[in-house]
Structure 1
Amino acid sequence: MTDHKPDIAMAERHPENESINKPHGLDSEDVKGHDFTLEQSDLPKGYFRSLNFIGSIFCIGANLGAGTGAFALIAPILSFVDADIGPSPNLNWVALSYLLTSSIGLAFVGRLTDIFGRRWFFIGSGILATIGSIVCATAPTINALIAGECLLGLASAGQILYGAPISELVPMKHRFWAQGYAVTWTIPTSSMSAIVGYAFVYQTSVGWRGVFYFLIALNALITVAFFLFYRPPNFSMKHGGRSKVQYIKQFDYVGAFLFIAGMLFFIMGLSWGGSLHPWKSASVIATIVVGFLCLVAFALYETLVPMEEPFVPIHIFKDRAFVIATLMWSLGASVYYANAILWPSMVFTLFASDHGVMWAGWASCLANAGITLGELFVPLGTIFKKRHWQIRAAFFGGSVFVACMATCNQDTFSRAAVLMFFGSLLIGYNEIANSTVITLAVADQREIGTANGIASSLRNCISTICSTVYTTVLANRLASTIPAQVPSALIKAGLPSGSVAAFLAALSGAGKMSAVDGVTPAIEAIGVRAYKGASSDAFRTVFLTTLAFSGLGMVLSIFYPNVDPLLTNKVSVQIHSKGKEDVGAEVKRVDSQV
């Protein structure tokens, strides 16, 4: 009896007789395709030990590792890249190109793979990722590297969208375990990305290009594994004798265009502000406004215009668990990005001078290592039940730990390391717990890719807004605290006032300390300490700023529903062996005739 309750609840949440977004002339079964959900007990004996299942689980997890590494591995060492094949004023576009293409692609991959099947999309993403890695590995200029990162960003839409393909293959009660397994693949490519990147630069002859040589091999292996083992239901199994052309004709091209334009302009404007252009510039303001208006138009179009194949079925937003999990996933990611952006900068600014580059690389990994460890703890939560209370506690604890980073300065590395690690650990728990709930909350599991894709795109958009706020606050505070504290300390120590600008330039890496007129070791030590103090004051403000977003998440968590009843023995999709596609199509046709 317990196993049937979720089905009743899901049916009540999403009645099939809604008029909006219901196809005309086709029943919902024809549009969404055959429902492959079955009980775990109905699976063939030894299914979870079969080569196809194990191979599929392997390539989905490895795919996630490769997708995150496409940018995470190169991001910490971009200054070395710029020194080698630059300098270029377009260096920021290396990050921006990956962010834009992946944010747009996530929703498309989720929706299209729900309709047409996932196999060839993921094989295609592996091929594209391999090509993108080759372009980056051989890039003679920064612009060529940007082109390669564009390809990697597009490919990553089929790589980091791991929640749907891995969740649908296992019983719903084991989805937390499945997603916990997948993130283990991000340990070398995300958690340890800084140290791996520095290791390539300092300890190999190939330098930064070694990152992409590694990704070439990994992506090629993954592509072959997808081809050999990953065989989820394809188009003919989903839709029987229906034509792909018909679905292509019915696709929501207007909604897709508005979504692309909105995400492209909005995220681009946010990323430009304060870095490539001043916030008050017409380029930034116009881009953000146009992007926002396109997203508003997209939401209105999807809600009000009946269509046969909506880009985003609006009814998925009627589920409270899905909406709250998506928002908390996004807000948790905002705290994660605060850690990922601020902590390495804090390490190198406040602590690295007393140790060394490799020490700083290891210390910079603390935040990402905490995130990954927290993600790995998520499966253990199934032992204690009451998942919604676990998410509330983890989000609250992680937010408090990160906010307490405001008490740290250049003399408190141990305290900062402990707070950052445990804050990241709890936020990491929140990350995977919420992303798993998103897959559970989809009433119709045939739309799991669509829901996972749009949630991932929203997460990228919201976390970009938050990270933009953090970087802007940090820049503004540094522009205030450094002039207020450092020059006076230097002049008091005996440095000529005319040498202050040169001293500050040397600290930022734009000059050499030996070239500063009047500097002595004692004056340098005083100036460096004043600079660290001013920087720690700026970091303090940013860590307090995280409370604005984490506080909203804490409020939302109050309304988090209990998802334990959804943890059933049902499996949404079964991997089939080669040659079963036509059999599946025949079964579908027989079913429809009956």
Structure 2
Amino acid sequence: MDHKDDQVHTIENVSSITDEKSDHGFTTNSEDLPKGYYRSPFFLGTMMATGFSLAAGVGGFALAAPNLALINAELGPDPNYVWIGLVYTMALAIGLLLVGRLSDLFGRRWFFISGQILAIIGCIVVATASTIKILIGGMTLISLAASTQLSFGIVSNELVPMKYRFFTHAWLYLWCLPASGFGPVVSKAFILYTSAGWRGSYYLLIGINAISALLYFLFYFPPTFHMKFNNRTKMQQLKDFDFVGAFMFTAGLLLFLMGLSWGGSVYPWKSPATISALVIGIVLLIAFGCYETFANLKEPLVPVHLFKNFSWVACSINLGLGASVYYGMAIIWPQMVAVLYTDDGGASIHAGFLSSLVGLMIIAGQLTGGSLAVVIGKTKIQCICVLTIAAATLTAVASCGPDDFIRATVLMCLGCFFVGWNETLCLANAGIDIDDQREIGTAIGAAGSMRSAISTLASTVYVVILTNKLTENIPAIVPPAVIGAGLPATSIVPFLTGFSTGNFTGVPGLTPEILVVGVRAYKEASAKAYSTVFLSTLIFSGLAMILSFFTPNVDEKMTNQVAATLHQKGTETIVGGHAEKHVV
């Protein structure tokens, strides 16, 4: 075929896609794409932008989580410092669905560019924060921006053939290694070896976000609003949008998660603030579900038919149950390492490497699962197997005490590895196991919102259990041990305070021998608390095991179908084609 014929073929191909966009979106086969499409600067630049964006998105949480106490000590103390980590999963729970649905309805390009700009602003606020409240404000901006950054599955899934979606996820997870995998090491290195301290992590994120924003701006040209909806205007789409549902969803989920986060930390569980937030939040979420189901909506926030597909629901819930291990253990495991398995309170770079095991092994599982998913096939069987192993190994960490470092590490690594494997299966399937690929943003966004909401719930449960058990065990075990070793009873309070400050100087009657006894008793008391936390993981992993039997097998959908294509700037020409059909 000569150049002229190739041009005519490309125009016909573009026309066949765009003429049917009202009914069939931009679905095509990879064989029908112009030669060189997947080697074009547009596609490669978009994938690079997505990778940098994902790295920055996970870094916003991973680089802060190991250092919450240190940050509070420098800028506080402020009892609200726990919001530094909690606001991240809360904002994601709300933002992921909104980003997915709105970008389905209005086009994706500027949502993802704007997300990077917002992330840059948030990182600047955090890096220059002088109080905990200002820092929480900056983290809120970072968290909202992460709603686009962690929507990477929308971009990658719709641009590659179905059969390569798992592998594409595996490639993108590589970008998580610096921040999520080695996050505790990177942040610890900034603290130990630079004058910037913990703020250095956010200077780094400013640069990464800037690179991603530039790459998105230069290379990411997905179908525009006018290309997707040739018979509608943006004003019509805006008038038909489900603002009532969006308000009920946002307000309900925000209040519910705030109530969970307040309980036992900011306010008592029985306080009016906690109870009212929980009750009003639940009522609004129930009202939202009824409204979406029974109201006659032209553009509902959540198409109800998604939830009639139980395999998709099971897959999406398991995505959250698996992720709850990461968000929970990213906080719990570094504390456990600091108290039980190091002698410096977790201040060394060695402790940073140990704390990194959670993120590293989850990424290792994600890479393995993404690389082998299609090779092995039967994704339902894979989910059943990996979740069973994860549940068993994570629960078994409860058997580990201060002298069981190797066993605890091996079990934690195995559990996180198989949780990561489950994550890559469920995230890809959330965009595959749907009837209409035009709703891929909504489907992955809804799954992501469930992921973050469940993670917030699980993290809250873990932290509450740990706090309650430490409060119960330490006074019951440590004072009798040190009094029996010869410490005066009047010195108990300053001695226990020393575990918080790391300084036992000036405790009346304290000798090196008594200190050894007290530290050992403190570790034993803490080990009992951590044991209870790991036993509680069975609540979530057990439910995940049950739901895994209802997750989908998608072998028959592993085809060359592509949900959407990149286009040259200002035209409807698919990247790599020669047509010059301009958008009016």
Q: RMSD between aligned alpha carbons?
A: 2.1
Q: Deviations over 1:484-523 (max 9, x none)?
A: 21111111111111111221111122x7312111111010
Work out whether residues 431 and 444 of structure 2, in 8 Å CA contact, stay in contact via their aligned partners in 1: yes
In the alignment, structure 1 residue 330 sits paired with structure 2 residue 292: no
Q: 1:372–1:582: structure 2 CA closer, same or farther, 3 Å change rule?
A: closer
C-alpha deviation, 1:163, in angstroms = 0.9
The residue number in structure 2 matching 1:69 is: 59
Tell me the distance in 2 between the aligned counterparts of 1:210 and 1:337.
22
Give the alignment of 1:121-132 within 5 angstroms.
121-132=111-122
Tell me the distance in 2 between the aligned counterparts of 1:583 and 1:177.
23
SS at match of 2:38: helix
C-alpha deviation, 1:32, in angstroms = 6.3
Match of residue 550, structure 2, among 534, 538, 559:
559
SS at match of 1:299: helix
Work out whether residues 34 and 239 of structure 1, in 8 Å CA contact, stay in contact via their aligned partners in 2: no
The residue number in structure 2 matching 1:495 is: 487
Q: Deviations over 1:416-459 (max 9, x none)?
A: 11111111000011111111111101210000000111111111
The residue number in structure 1 matching 2:16 is: none
Tell me the distance in 2 between the aligned counterparts of 1:578 and 1:562.
38
C-alpha deviation, 1:352, in angstroms = 1.3
Work out whether residues 73 and 189 of structure 1, in 8 Å CA contact, stay in contact via their aligned partners in 2: yes
Work out whether residues 312 and 551 of structure 2, in 8 Å CA contact, stay in contact via their aligned partners in 1: no
SS at match of 1:158: helix
The residue number in structure 1 matching 2:537 is: 546
Counterpart residue type for residue 265 of structure 1? L
In the alignment, structure 1 residue 183 sits paired with structure 2 residue 179: no
In the alignment, structure 1 residue 534 sits paired with structure 2 residue 525: yes
Work out whether residues 394 and 411 of structure 2, in 8 Å CA contact, stay in contact via their aligned partners in 1: yes
In the alignment, structure 1 residue 363 sits paired with structure 2 residue 349: no
The residue number in structure 2 matching 1:148 is: 138
**How many residues are matched?**
561
Tell me the distance in 1 between the aligned counterparts of 2:463 and 2:347.
25
The residue number in structure 2 matching 1:469 is: 461
User: TM (normalized to structure 1)?
Assistant: 0.91
Q: Deviations over 1:544-589 (max 9, x none)?
A: 1111111111111122332111111101111111221499999899
The residue number in structure 1 matching 2:4 is: none
Q: 1:533–1:515: structure 2 CA closer, same or farther, 3 Å change rule?
A: same
Give the alignment of 1:158-177 within 5 angstroms.
158-177=148-167
Counterpart residue type for residue 489 of structure 2? S
In the alignment, structure 1 residue 574 sits paired with structure 2 residue 565: yes
C-alpha deviation, 1:105, in angstroms = 1.2
C-alpha deviation, 1:368, in angstroms = 1.0
In the alignment, structure 1 residue 209 sits paired with structure 2 residue 214: no
Counterpart residue type for residue 454 of structure 2? I
Work out whether residues 123 and 223 of structure 1, in 8 Å CA contact, stay in contact via their aligned partners in 2: yes
In the alignment, structure 1 residue 263 sits paired with structure 2 residue 270: no
Q: Deviations over 1:199-250 (max 9, x none)?
A: 1111112212211111111111111100111111010110114210000011
Work out whether residues 571 and 583 of structure 2, in 8 Å CA contact, stay in contact via their aligned partners in 1: no
Q: 1:588–1:242: structure 2 CA closer, same or farther, 3 Å change rule?
A: farther
In the alignment, structure 1 residue 437 sits paired with structure 2 residue 422: no
Tell me the distance in 2 between the aligned counterparts of 1:150 and 1:403.
33
Counterpart residue type for residue 405 of structure 1? V
Match of residue 347, structure 1, among 328, 337, 341:
337
Tell me the distance in 1 between the aligned counterparts of 2:102 and 2:361.
34
The residue number in structure 2 matching 1:403 is: 395
Q: Deviations over 1:1-32 (max 9, x none)?
A: xxxxxxxxxxxxxxxxxxxxxxxxxxxx9996
Q: Deviations over 1:62-121 (max 9, x none)?
A: 111111111221222233333333333332232233333332111111001001111111
SS at match of 1:157: helix
The residue number in structure 1 matching 2:268 is: 278
The residue number in structure 2 matching 1:448 is: 440
The residue number in structure 1 matching 2:15 is: none
Tell me the distance in 2 between the aligned counterparts of 1:472 and 1:149.
22
Tell me the distance in 2 between the aligned counterparts of 1:589 and 1:512.
68
Give the alignment of 1:385-404 within 5 angstroms.
385-404=377-396
Give the alignment of 1:412-431 within 5 angstroms.
412-431=404-423
Percent identity for Structure 1 against Structure 2: 47
The residue number in structure 1 matching 2:214 is: 224
Work out whether residues 239 and 588 of structure 1, in 8 Å CA contact, stay in contact via their aligned partners in 2: no
The residue number in structure 2 matching 1:14 is: none
Tell me the distance in 1 between the aligned counterparts of 2:286 and 2:122.
33
Tell me the distance in 2 between the aligned counterparts of 1:586 and 1:265.
50
Q: 1:588–1:551: structure 2 CA closer, same or farther, 3 Å change rule?
A: farther
Structure 2: stretches of 5+ with no match in the other structure: 1-18
Work out whether residues 99 and 153 of structure 1, in 8 Å CA contact, stay in contact via their aligned partners in 2: yes
C-alpha deviation, 1:252, in angstroms = 0.5
Tell me the distance in 1 between the aligned counterparts of 2:472 and 2:266.
20
Work out whether residues 302 and 310 of structure 1, in 8 Å CA contact, stay in contact via their aligned partners in 2: yes
Tell me the distance in 1 between the aligned counterparts of 2:580 and 2:273.
56
In the alignment, structure 1 residue 56 sits paired with structure 2 residue 39: no
C-alpha deviation, 1:132, in angstroms = 1.4
The residue number in structure 1 matching 2:7 is: none
Tell me the distance in 1 between the aligned counterparts of 2:21 and 2:467.
50
In the alignment, structure 1 residue 522 sits paired with structure 2 residue 474: no
Counterpart residue type for residue 30 of structure 2? Q
Q: 1:46–1:583: structure 2 CA closer, same or farther, 3 Å change rule?
A: closer
Q: 1:561–1:581: structure 2 CA closer, same or farther, 3 Å change rule?
A: closer
Counterpart residue type for residue 412 of structure 2? M
Work out whether residues 34 and 574 of structure 2, in 8 Å CA contact, stay in contact via their aligned partners in 1: no
Q: 1:589–1:92: structure 2 CA closer, same or farther, 3 Å change rule?
A: closer
The residue number in structure 2 matching 1:3 is: none
C-alpha deviation, 1:405, in angstroms = 0.2
Q: 1:581–1:561: structure 2 CA closer, same or farther, 3 Å change rule?
A: closer
Counterpart residue type for residue 52 of structure 1? F
In the alignment, structure 1 residue 381 sits paired with structure 2 residue 380: no
Tell me the distance in 2 between the aligned counterparts of 1:128 and 1:356.
32
Structure 1: stretches of 5+ with no match in the other structure: 1-28
Match of residue 452, structure 2, among 460, 472, 486:
460
C-alpha deviation, 1:33, in angstroms = 6.4
Work out whether residues 98 and 153 of structure 1, in 8 Å CA contact, stay in contact via their aligned partners in 2: yes
Tell me the distance in 1 between the aligned counterparts of 2:326 and 2:532.
17
Give the alignment of 1:286-297 within 5 angstroms.
286-297=276-287
Give the alignment of 1:70-89 within 5 angstroms.
70-89=60-79
Counterpart residue type for residue 557 of structure 1? S
C-alpha deviation, 1:135, in angstroms = 1.6
SS at match of 2:80: coil
Counterpart residue type for residue 556 of structure 2? P
User: TM (normalized to structure 2)?
Assistant: 0.92
Work out whether residues 52 and 211 of structure 2, in 8 Å CA contact, stay in contact via their aligned partners in 1: no
C-alpha deviation, 1:463, in angstroms = 1.7
